[in-house]
Chains A and B, each alone.
Chain A
Amino acid sequence: TQLLEQSPQFLSIQEGENLTVYCNSSSVFSSLQWYRQEPGEGPVLLVTVVTGGEVKKLKRLTFQFGDARKDSSLHITAAQPGDTGLYLCAGGDFNKFYFGSGTKLNVKP
């Protein structure tokens, strides 16, 4: 079984604060993705990382992929209420995607 663990499970912060969420895997995947999901909707892809040590930035979001390609982090700078949602990491391997348990983020105005 390929397992991805995310932490923290829940995070409630004030607007303007910074935060980091983590994703750790028991396996090496060919790629790792981060998705954001709003209630009642399907997840939407934020970024895909492939190379160990890779860093990608998407506006206020910074994604890092560990050198061993088994861990990843998502850092949000100056969080906004619009960032509220469920953040999911997923490992891609042989045309399958395995998801972590998610981090539920609430950004209070």
Chain B
Amino acid sequence: SQTIHQWPATLVQPVGSPLSLECTVEGTSNPNLYWYRQAAGRGLQLLFYSVGIGQISSEVPQNLSASRPQDRQFILSSKKLLLSDSGFYLCAWSASDREAFFGQGTRLTVV
């Protein structure tokens, strides 16, 4: 069966510091991978998606970037965090446009 791992679960970072969130998927090959951000109790905003190694599409211009160095690894990064980068970050994978499977999320607080 397929599983998705996302870490860390919580993170407190100072303004101006770098960020690296990692997500890995097991049990499937060539998945579509996604990074979403969620404001408290609200919907999910699509940040990045990838259909293959090295193929990254950005949905929203921002202070973040994404990379996919391996087939089942997706990384969200920032060189210098802003206060507005705080939020709940979710990684997800899919094999079609009919269902997405999410990780447990990372609660990021920028102070």
Return chain B residues, CB-CB under 8 Å to A44: 102
- Known contacts: A99-B44, A101-B43, A102-B42. The answer to whether A45 contacts B101 by CB under 8 A is yes
Whether the pair B32, A95 counts as a contact (CB closer than 8 A) is: yes
Q: Does A82 contact B (CB under 8 A)?
A: no
Chain A window 74-95, contacts with chain B (Cβ cutoff 8 Å), 1 for yes, 0 for no: 0000000000001010101111
- Chain A's closest residue to B95 (CB) is A95
CA distance A101 to B99 in the complex (A): 18
Return chain B residues, CB-CB under 8 Å to A30: 97-98
- Known contacts: A48-B99, A93-B97, A97-B34. The answer to whether A41 contacts B43 by CB under 8 A is no
Report which residue of A43, A88, A94, A100 has the largest number of chain B beta carbons within 10 angstroms of its beta carbon. Answer: A43
CA distance A33 to B43 in the complex (A): 13
- Known contacts: A33-B99, A48-B99. The answer to whether A95 contacts B94 by CB under 8 A is yes
Whether the pair A41, B41 counts as a contact (CB closer than 8 A) is: no
CA distance A99 to B97 in the complex (A): 13
Whether the pair B98, A92 counts as a contact (CB closer than 8 A) is: yes
- Give chain B's interface residues, CB within 8 Å of chain A: 32, 34, 36, 41-46, 49, 51, 59, 90, 92, 94, 96-105, 107
- In the complex, the 3 A-B pairs of residues with the closest C-beta atoms, listed nearest first: A42-B102, A92-B97, A99-B44
